[in-house]
Amino acid sequence: MSTIFPSLEWLEALSRKLNSDAKYAQIARNWEGDMCVVIEPGGPLLEKQLYYLDLWHGQCRRTEILKDLPSIRPKFVLSATYDNISHIMKGELDPMQAMMTRKLQVKGSMAYMMRNVPTVLDFVRCAREVTTEILS
């Protein structure tokens, strides 16, 4: 079965992956913080998407597709255009590079983010691995 990014199926597949991947569990064992990924519309994506993930000590405790941000106050809000986030998902753009170069906007503690570079990168690895197709 194909898992198209972005979709509810993709978010659920990512949650399962994060909760079953031994490497992620090890690398992210000290991570404490939920996040909301905001994908701005563009190209084939017609509406803004908000994906919520509650990440805690190498596990994903909850996921949800949100309608708007005020309903929740996550530790991190990561925002990007669909184009940029597609580049990240395809492996064409390093997520840390994206954060450092305004292609992926970050609201939240950059200190925490910079301190946990391996966790960020392994989270993105998991996200890429569950993606079989990108909306086009």
Site residues, other proteins (CB under 8 A): 93-94, 96-106, 109-112, 114-115, 117-118, 121
Minimum separation from the CB atom of position 4 to other proteins (A): 26
Least distance (Å) from other proteins to the CB of residue 118?
Answer: 7
What minimum distance in Å lies between the beta carbon of 93 and other proteins? 7
| Min separation Cβ 67 and other proteins, Å | 25
- Nearer to other proteins (CB atom), residue 17 or residue 103: 103
Helices (H) and strands (E) in the chain, counts: 6, 7
CA pseudo-torsion sign 18, 126, 129, 60: positive
| Ramachandran class of 50: left when φ > 0, alpha when ψ lies in -120 to 50, beta otherwise | beta
Token readout for 85 is 């986030």
DSSP state of 132: S
Which of 57/115 has CB closer to other proteins? Answer: 115
Longest alpha-carbon distance in the chain: 39
Packing angle of the helix pair 117-129, 82-89 (nearest 10 deg): 90
Cβ-based nearer residue to other proteins, 59 or 112: 112
Q: Which is nearer to other proteins, 7 or 107 (CB)?
A: 107
